[in-house]
Amino acid sequence: MNPLLAVESITAGYGATIVLEDVSLTLDEGSACAILGRNGVGKTTLMSTIMGQTTLHRGTLGFAGKDITGRPPYQRARGGIGFVPQEREIFPSLTVEENLTVAMRPGVWRLAGVYDFFPRLAERRSNMGNQLSGGEQQMLAIGRALMGNPRLLLMDEPLEGLAPVIVDMLLTSMHRLRREAGLTILLVEQHAERALDLAETALILDRGKIVYDGDSATLLREPERLAALIGVGRAVKRI
């Protein structure tokens, strides 16, 4: 079976500045991959490059059997890539409902479905985008990505800065998205154990290059190796 996403030896960055060097990865439909690494190693850049928001210097991107290298971001989104950005980027002067409907594309995910998935958003539907808590914003950012009916969901640190109870709730939602909706997920996450728990494969970046590409389980069994690779001592304690 062809992979859903095929990133082949891309070198990318912002203008002349190169952030990622010779990075490759493939994702099969229905799978999930965690991208780990210290701050500033290029995790977000990898996400943005898949979405087409950076300068691609070399390499190719394939999605659902098509070459999407050089395609503008909106065509990638329409092709089935959903992106939940780190900053959430809710439109402040649209209501919750308008934030969702503005991203609507035909498919199984509709307004009612998103409200079912995040009942909190249904309660908040007439609130303006700037009148939401951090957790609600994150639900809305995910809901908005779902409204585009993606096959692949890119999530950039969706749990960052949220209260533990919201983190648990969102993690449950993300597991449901995989299990019930069969979404393919690419997840950037600071907390290694959460990400490795959700995704069966992992990719560790360091200074723009891949230093680990393999099973999550292997990493979970070898916490010292994981700690060395992502360069965070506390990861050992957490696991």
Partner 1 sequence: MTAAARLPQPPAVRAVLTRHRLRPIEALPWVCAIAVYYAFPDYLALGGQILVMTLFVLSLDLVLGYAGIVTLGHAAFFGTGAYVAGILAVRGWAEPLSGLVAAGAAAGIVGFLTGLVVLRTRGLTLLMVTLVVTQMLQEAANKLGWLTGGADGLQGITIPPVLGLFRFDMFGRTAYLYGLAALFIGWVVARTIVHSPFGRSLTGIRENVTRMQAIGSPVFRRKLAVYVVSAALAGIAGAVLTQTTQFVGLQVLGFEMSAVVIIMLILGGIGRLYGAFIGAPLYMIAQDQLAKDDPANWLFWIGLFLLLVVLFARGGVLGLADRILPRLRKGGDGG
* 109 is an interface residue for partner 1 by CB under 8 A: no
Q: Are 3 and 157 in contact (CB under 8 A)?
A: no
- Tell me the window of 6-14, 93-101, 164-172, 183-191 that interacts with partner 1 (CB under 8 A): 93-101
Q: CB-based contacts of 224: which residues, under 8 Å, 6+ apart?
A: 236
Select the residue interacting with partner 1 from 39, 93, 106, 108 (CB under 8 A).
93
* 110 is an interface residue for partner 1 by CB under 8 A: no
* 103 is an interface residue for partner 1 by CB under 8 A: yes
Select the residue interacting with partner 1 from 2, 17, 126, 133 (CB under 8 A).
126
* 212 is an interface residue for partner 1 by CB under 8 A: no
Residue 93 Cβ vs partner 1, minimum distance, rounded to whole Å:
6
Backbone φ, ψ for residue 99 (5° rounding) = -60, -35
Measure the CA–CA gap between 226 and 228, rounded to whole angstroms: 5
* 163 is an interface residue for partner 1 by CB under 8 A: no
Select the residue interacting with partner 1 from 20, 23, 27, 115 (CB under 8 A).
115
Residue 114 Ramachandran class (φ > 0 left, ψ -120 to 50 alpha, else beta):
alpha
Residue 46 Cβ vs partner 1, minimum distance, rounded to whole Å:
15
- The site map against partner 1 for 32-61 (x = CB under 8 A) is -------------------xxx--------
* 180 is an interface residue for partner 1 by CB under 8 A: no
* 136 is an interface residue for partner 1 by CB under 8 A: no
Q: Are 199 and 175 in contact (CB under 8 A)?
A: no
Buried (b) or exposed (e) across 7-34, using 16+ Cβ within 10 A?
beebbbbeeeebbbbebebbbeeebbbb
Residue 113: is it exposed, middle or buried by C-beta count within 10 angstroms (0-12/13-18/19+)? middle
* 107 is an interface residue for partner 1 by CB under 8 A: no
Q: Are 58 and 10 in contact (CB under 8 A)?
A: yes
Q: Name the residue nearer to partner 1 (CB basis): 128 or 211.
A: 128
Q: Which of 12, 85, 3 is nearest to 52 (CA)?
A: 12
Residues of this chain that bind partner 1 (CB under 8 A) = 51-53, 72-74, 77-78, 82-83, 85, 89, 91-95, 97-98, 101-105, 112, 115-116, 119, 122-123, 125-126, 144-145, 147-148
